[in-house]
Structure 1
Amino acid sequence: MSGQIVLATANQGKLREFRALLAAQPALRHLDLDTAVVDAATAGAPAVPETGVTFAENSLLKARAVAAHTGLPAVADDSGLAVDVLGGAPGFLSARWAGAQSSDINNRRLLLEQLSDVPARHRGAAFVCVASLVTPSSHRAGPGEHTAEGRLEGTLLTQERGTGGFGYDPILQPAGETRSCAELTMEEKNAISHRGQAFAALAERIVEVLA
C-alpha cells in the first residue's frame, strides 16, 4: 500500500464523506480507501479535547495531536453552524450547543426553539469548516501543516426535513436549493458542502501523502 492517513474523528459520517471525496481523486483510485483512510480510534489515537475558540485552532489541535500519537499524517476538521442572528453562534460550540454530552437531535431542537419567532428573512446561516492536514517529521513527505476553509450558505428551516447526513443537516436549506442538506445524496452534498470544499482544497496535498 502506498500510504495511510488518519482522519482525526470518531464520527463515522465524516469518515464516509472523507473517503467518498478521496474516491473522486483520479490519483487515488488504485487505493483501497477503507484501509488507507482510518479513523482515530482505529489508529489507536485518543480523543483530543477541543480547547480552542475558533474552528482553525481546534482543527489544528486535533491534527497535530493525532499525527504526533500515531506517526502518520492526520487530517482533522472543526466545523459547525454559524447563524446570522446569533452573531455566528453556535459556531465552534455547535456539537455541544445543548450541553457537553448533547446529541445531534437535542442540539437541533434547542436551536429551533431559540429561533422559533425569527422570520424567514432573518434566518440566514452557514455551515463553516476548517480542515487541517499535518504530516509528522518522520513521514517521507516531510513535516508540514496546511489548512483550508469551506462555507455552505443557506437558510435555517423551522422544522427538520430529511433523514440523511448528520448534525444540523436536517435544518439547513442550502442557497438555491429546495431541499435540506439531509435530503441531498452524499454525492450532491459533497459537491457543495463546507467540509467537501475544505477537504477538496487539501486534496492535492493529501494525494502527495497517499499516492
Structure 2
Amino acid sequence: MAAPKLVLATHNQGKLRELRELLRNQVPGLNVDTDVVDAGAIHAPDVAETGVTFAENARLKAHAVAAFSGVLAIADDSGLAVDVLGGAPGIFSARWAGVHGDDDANLKLLLAQLSDIVPGNRGAAFICAAALASADGKVDLVEEGTLRGTLLKEPRGEGGFGYDPILLPENLNKSCAELSSAEKNAISHRGQAFRALLPHIVAALGAQA
C-alpha cells in the first residue's frame, strides 16, 4: 500500500467516511479513498487522552499520530456538556459510568442523575474539537463545533451512538438518534468542526503537492 497523505486518528469508519466526503474533489491529485486513511491502516498506537479539554485531547492525538506516520494527521475529541452539571460529563462522556465506551450505562446513569430536573433546565450541548497537525510541527490548528439542545427524559431513536438518543437539537422535534445520517452530519458538532478545519487541510495538503 502506498503511503497515505493524511491520517485520521480514529478507528471509527463513520468518521473516516465523513472526512473523505468533505475532502473529495477539494485537492488536485488527492484520491481520498487511498490517500486518506484511519489510524488502524497504519497500525498507529493508541494515544492516552490526558488533556483536560476537548481541544487538548484532540491536539495530543493529532500530534502523536503525525509523528508516528510522518504525514498530516487529524484527530477529534468530543462529548456532552450538561448545563446543570457545570459542563459534565464533558471529556469524561465516554466513561461517565466507569467503563469506557459503555453507551447504555453512560446514558442510563446520566438520565438517573437528571431525573428531577425539569425540561426548562435540561439544556446541554454536544461539543467537538478537531485538530490538524504535521509531523514537523509547523501545522498545529484546532477548530470546534457545538450542537445545542435539550435533554429528553427517555431515549428516542435507533440511530447514532452515545448520548444521541436523548439530545433534542434546538428547533427540531427529533432526537439526534432519529435523524438520518445526512441530517445529522449537516448540523452535528463534529461536522461543524471538520468543515471549519477543511480550508486548513486543503492548504496543508496543497503545500505538500
TM-score (norm 1): 0.89
Q: Distance in 1 between matches of 2:139 and 2:102?
A: 34
Which residue of the partner structure matches residue 116 of structure 2? 117
| Equivalences for residues 160-171 of structure 1 within 5 A | 160-171=155-166
Which residue of the partner structure matches residue 99 of structure 1? 98
Which residue of the partner structure matches residue 195 of structure 1? 190
- Of residues 34-43 and 118-127 in structure 1, the stretch that sits farther from structure 2 once superposed is 34-43
Gaps of at least 5 residues in structure 2 are none
Aligned to 1:92, the other structure's residue is in SS state: helix
Q: Distance in 1 between matches of 2:59 and 2:152?
A: 31
Matched, 1:69 2:64: no
Q: Distance in 2 between matches of 1:66 and 1:3?
A: 12
Which residue of the partner structure matches residue 150 of structure 1? 145
- Of residues 34-43 and 145-154 in structure 1, the stretch that sits farther from structure 2 once superposed is 34-43
Which residue of the partner structure matches residue 83 of structure 2? 84
Contact 2:168–2:174, Cα closer than 8 Å, also in 1: yes
Aligned to 1:45, the other structure's residue is in SS state: coil
Q: Tell me how large the CA RMSD over aligned residues is.
A: 2.0
Q: Distance in 2 between matches of 1:53 and 1:192?
A: 25
Identity score, percent: 60
Contact 1:2–1:210, Cα closer than 8 Å, also in 2: no
Q: CA deviation at 1:202?
A: 0.6
Which letter does structure 1 place at the counterpart of 2:17? R
Which residue of the partner structure matches residue 13 of structure 2? 12
Relative distance call for 1:182 and 1:210 in structure 2 (3 A) is farther
Contact 2:158–2:177, Cα closer than 8 Å, also in 1: yes
Contact 2:4–2:36, Cα closer than 8 Å, also in 1: no
| Equivalences for residues 17-36 of structure 1 within 5 A | 17-23=18-24, 26-28=25-27, 31-36=30-35
Q: Distance in 2 between matches of 1:20 and 1:183?
A: 22
Which residue of the partner structure matches residue 129 of structure 2? 130
Contact 1:44–1:70, Cα closer than 8 Å, also in 2: no
Which letter does structure 2 place at the counterpart of 1:164? G
Gaps of at least 5 residues in structure 1 are none
- Of residues 4-13 and 62-71 in structure 1, the stretch that sits farther from structure 2 once superposed is 4-13
Matched, 1:207 2:202: yes
Contact 2:4–2:34, Cα closer than 8 Å, also in 1: no
